């Protein structure tokens, strides 16, 4: 059975965040470990647009989190925590955030994107041109790189898709080159 069909069954064919019944689609909550049903939610296009584009956030739309933050699915809880953290300066989201309890693993997943951190504490990954890199982006190598511990050389011009960010060091990203997972220094990549 497809993920979207399973999500429809789980949610009763409603957005798991706001309860809308139209324009629904599966949304994968990043970063993912295995992908699949447990790391996805069914969300309407309005919610997805506001999740992906912080400038489009409509505070009143997100009052729905008062109900959906109690959802038993960890992926829904993670999105609720991230959105409440993003909007907490408005007052009422901070009150909901104070009531929301997430177990250790779910909280770590929610914090993995850096949402909720103060801007001065947030680690920002930038490519060689200063463009901000996000989890899941694609980059291209701008020079040949010898891979430590291997005889492999990652060639200039190689595309690295679906990168992962190191949340402790702004200079490191991870990605697969020729089927091998490697750590790449951000000064040697350019976002595609």
- Write down the domain spans for the chain: 3-111, 137-191
Give mean pLDDT, residues 62-89: 95
The Cβ-side half-sphere exposure at 91, using a 13 Å CA radius, reads 1
pLDDT above 90 (res 68): yes
pLDDT (average), residues 66-94: 94
How many residues in total does the chain contain?
192
In angstroms, the CA 40 to CA 58 distance is 22
Say what the pLDDT of residue 1 is.
60
Residue 87 has pLDDT above 90, yes or no: yes
What does pTM read for this prediction?
A: 0.64
Fold (topology level) of 137-191: SH3 type barrels. (2.30.30)
**What is the mean predicted confidence (pLDDT) over 54-70?**
94
Q: What is the mean pLDDT of residues 143-157?
A: 90
Of 78, 174, 183, 167, the closest CA to residue 124 belongs to 167
Rounded to whole angstroms, the Cα distance separating 10 from 144 reads: 47
Is 120's pLDDT higher than 60?
no
Give the pLDDT band (50/70/90) at residue 121: low
User: With bands split at pLDDT 50, 70 and 90, how would you rate the model's confidence at 93?
Assistant: very high
Query: What value does the mean pLDDT take over residues 120-145?
Result: 86
Q: What local confidence, expressed as pLDDT, does residue 34 receive? A: 81
- pLDDT digit string, tens, across residues 23-35: 999 999 998 888 8
- The dihedral over CA atoms of 7, 13, 19, 22, expressed in degrees to the nearest 10, equals 110
Mean pLDDT of 110-133: 78
Indicate whether 103 pLDDT > 80. Answer: yes
Average pLDDT, the chain: 90
What pLDDT score was predicted for residue 83?
A: 96
């Amino acid at each position: 059975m497809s993920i979207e069909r399973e999500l429809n069954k789980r949610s009763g064919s409603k957005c798991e965040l706001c309860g809308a019944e139209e324009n629904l689609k599966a949304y994968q909550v990043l970063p993912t470990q295995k992908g699949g049903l447990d790391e996805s939610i069914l969300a309407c296009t309005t919610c997805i647009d506001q999740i992906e584009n912080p400038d489009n956030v409509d505070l009143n739309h997100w009052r729905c989190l008062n109900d959906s933050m109690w959802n038993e699915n960890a992926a829904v809880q993670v999105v609720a925590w991230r959105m409440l953290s993003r909007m907490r300066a408005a007052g009422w989201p901070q009150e909901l955030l104070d009531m929301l309890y997430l177990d250790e693993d779910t909280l770590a997943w929610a914090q993995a994107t850096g949402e909720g951190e103060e801007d001065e504490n947030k680690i920002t990954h930038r490519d060689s041109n200063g463009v901000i890199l996000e989890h899941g982006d694609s980059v291209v190598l701008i020079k040949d790189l010898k891979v430590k511990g291997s005889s492999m050389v990652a060639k200039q011009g190689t595309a690295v898709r679906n990168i992962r960010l190191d949340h402790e060091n702004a200079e490191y990203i991870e990605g697969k080159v020729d089927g091998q997972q490697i750590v790449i220094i951000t000064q040697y990549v350019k976002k595609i």
